[in-house]
Structure 1
């Protein structure tokens, strides 16, 4: 009705018998409030058709309800899943995310930090496409920062990362479980921490089973072309190979091409596994690719939860790893679809 007064936080507080501050915390999913009180406040807000005003809320609570996400991942292959996971966690508190791509340029990154601080963001999530440690975010001052996927070089900072060592281990366990014993490894550049950790997990699990990796680990680029070339090199040197674990799904797709080119059947002759569980690649492969899901969305979700804690005055520190998960498809399982 025209001229009808809009309900306010104070109206909700009066109806629920609590303070306006308690109403704000309950509706934003923050604070130490009992579930019974939280539910009573929600019911009161619904009864009087209360719709929070974002600007008023930010002034009242001295928060902008925005978070800045800074990435160095220009390809967005890794930062987008992380951002989607973060948005899932932040959305419950009606917090918006500003995504800025620094393209790996420290000057551009500092510019974005200044711009986002000018918008009074409540915190920062810093991510990228590498798991190598990076310098702490410069210029953030006392605004909370959490690192996702790409950890901070300062071990006191809060960093949420994938479990690369276990990703290599679970792939090796699976290949051993299906009876493969002549297992090789093709992966990316050896200057990536993730590359080395994945191989360490892979080799350690084989060693526990009394199995030596077949041939040396094949380090190279993160490309289909390298996956194809490395696989041909391995097959010439070790024609007895019955399984190959690849450090990425793109490498595995190139490797699958090489195996077909020499008449090797997948998985009957050579079983293959990838890493990333990039569904566009893994499900479209011939045959569909068994792959280790690094759960990037969960990395973003956990990072956002840790940032929310820090914003509420409960900061976290140190390195936190998100468990990975093997997704089995036809490249290792003849019965899979």
Structure 2
């Protein structure tokens, strides 16, 4: 037979307080001294007391659950963001529910109705693109991460893509590179265009030809390398790590040494690509976990009645490796 569950009254008896005081101490409410709170917490830990989440929800009017709504089916961007969100929410014993809409507006509406019906405390909205998206219409606190809301009054947290791209170019310039080519993704993607514009503005006369737009793939990186080599560059900056890995592969096939002949930079700091590349890539880390942590912090403040309005732009970080520095 299982031993009887430890009750709130058992914790209260061991701590020498009333059940009401024990409840306040464990839920971090009420006007109690720190000494009393510590005594109750020590008693709960000694007895192995586990709070009843259902009772906690009923007494507070909250479910202690947050939804993460995403269009990123592969998890490439949403999983790091979710890790950051959970870093913050788990400290307050909140659970995170992942909802993948797969870019389907009907599926998104179904999820939203379900989350509202379940009484989640708030929603973090994210995706795989950086274009502003229409705001969701729910009677709950909402924070947008990476893909901002098109309503400037909503709380959105984004990455400084332009700053990250500029940092990569400044790094190449500091190494004495004077002919820099740029290969990036689709011209219809805000991230590709924004990064290319920052590259052109930072490189100035060192920019070698026009930026080449294509796909976020290694194949495109290999194909585009043949084109940009006609300009005789001594560095190639890329809009993603996938493209950069393809560039490195093609340069090696052609007998060009990286970085001795041509330095290469990527963007995303995606370990699958950046660390597996030969050589490992100097790249820009958008710090998606930090993005998730900041979004979760704003959401908690909104749940507490202190909503943020407007866009917060977080800095990216340049990570230097052998593709520019050599071995």
Deviation of 1:229 (Å): 1.1
Question: How many Å apart are 1:47 and its aligned residue?
Answer: 5.1
CA distance in structure 1 between the aligned counterparts of 2:192 and 2:217, rounded to whole angstroms: 14
- What pairs with 1:147-296 in structure 2 (closer than 5 Å)? 147-207=144-204, 211-236=205-230, 238-239=231-232, 241-296=233-288
Q: 1:323 aligns with which of 315, 319, 327?
A: 315
Give how far 1:7 is off.
Answer: 2.4
User: Bigger shift: 126-135 or 195-204?
Assistant: 195-204
1:261 to partner: Cα distance: 2.4
Tell me the equivalent position of 1:334: 326
Which of 19, 25, 28 lines up with 1:25 in the alignment? 28
Corresponding residue SS for 1:76? coil
Instruction: Let me know the Cα RMSD of the aligned residues.
Output: 2.5
Unaligned runs of 5+ in 1: none
Q: Distance in 1 between matches of 2:108 and 2:81?
A: 18
Please report how far the alpha carbon of residue 51 of structure 1 lies from its aligned counterpart in structure 2 after TM superposition: 2.1
Cα pair 1:7 1:48 within 8 Å, conserved: no
Report how far residue 20 of structure 1 moved.
Answer: 4.1
Give the number of the structure whose residues are more often helix, by fraction: 2
Deviation digits for residues 213-259 of structure 1 (CA, Å, limit 9, x no counterpart): 111001111111111111110112x02x0001100000001111221
Instruction: Flag the 1:35–1:296 CA change in 2: closer, same or farther, 3 A.
Output: farther
Q: Match for residue 93 of structure 2?
A: 94
Question: Equivalents in 1 of 2:53, 2:238: separation in Å?
Answer: 48
**TM-score computed with the length of structure 2 as normaliser:** 0.91
Aligned in 2, Cα 1:160/1:170: closer, same or farther, shift over 3 Å?
same
SS in 2 for 1:114: helix
Unaligned runs of 5+ in 2: none
